[in-house]
């Protein structure tokens, strides 16, 4: 699990390309199964930035879930713009709102209204716990 944390740290350094902070979040299904990560350039305490998605489910049965398929489709686009709307985070593709990261930890696909799962900011320990639970 330490390797995953080191990978995310290195990816954050590459992705940011400057001194601004990056932040990774774990993405899980509604029932706590590991799906992947979101990497935010500038941390989520900022008002806006860019993000990418690493979708790497630990359980092969998750590949069949509609929620995970949506995340795979989103990942394919590459880099997204995000901005704060109150305490929530809205992820956009061009001007279209795609995802809503709610302050209560839920992630919604805005076009369909489907809750895709939940997000948890990465700290030492919850990456390992998320991957282990997958």
pTM score, whole prediction: 0.79
Using one digit for the tens of pLDDT, what is the confidence trace for 82-128? 999 999 999 999 889 999 999 999 999 999 999 999 999 875 444 44
How far lies 56's CA from each of 36, 37, 102, in Å? 5, 8, 22
Alpha-carbon distance values, 81 to 5, 39, 52, 58 (Å): 24, 12, 9, 27
Q: Read off the pLDDT of residues 5-62 as tens digits, 9 standing for 90 and up.
A: 555 565 555 444 544 577 889 999 999 999 999 988 877 788 999 999 999 998 899 9
Domain boundaries, the chain: 2-11+20-133
């Amino acid at each position: 699990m330490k390797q995953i944390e080191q990978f995310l740290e290195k990816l954050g350094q590459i992705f940011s390309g400057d001194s601004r902070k990056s932040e990774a979040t774990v993405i899980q299904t509604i029932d706590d199964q590991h799906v992947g990560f979101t990497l935010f350039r500038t941390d989520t305490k900022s008002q806006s930035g860019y993000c990418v998605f690493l979708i790497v489910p630990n359980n092969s049965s998750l590949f069949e879930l509609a929620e995970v398929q949506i995340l795979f489709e989103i990942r394919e686009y590459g880099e997204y713009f995000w901005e704060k709307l109150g305490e929530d985070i809205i992820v956009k593709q061009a001007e279209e709102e795609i995802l809503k990261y709610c302050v209560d930890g839920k992630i919604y696909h805005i076009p369909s209204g489907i809750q895709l799962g939940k997000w948890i900011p990465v700290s030492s320990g919850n990456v390992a716990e998320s991957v282990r639970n997958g």
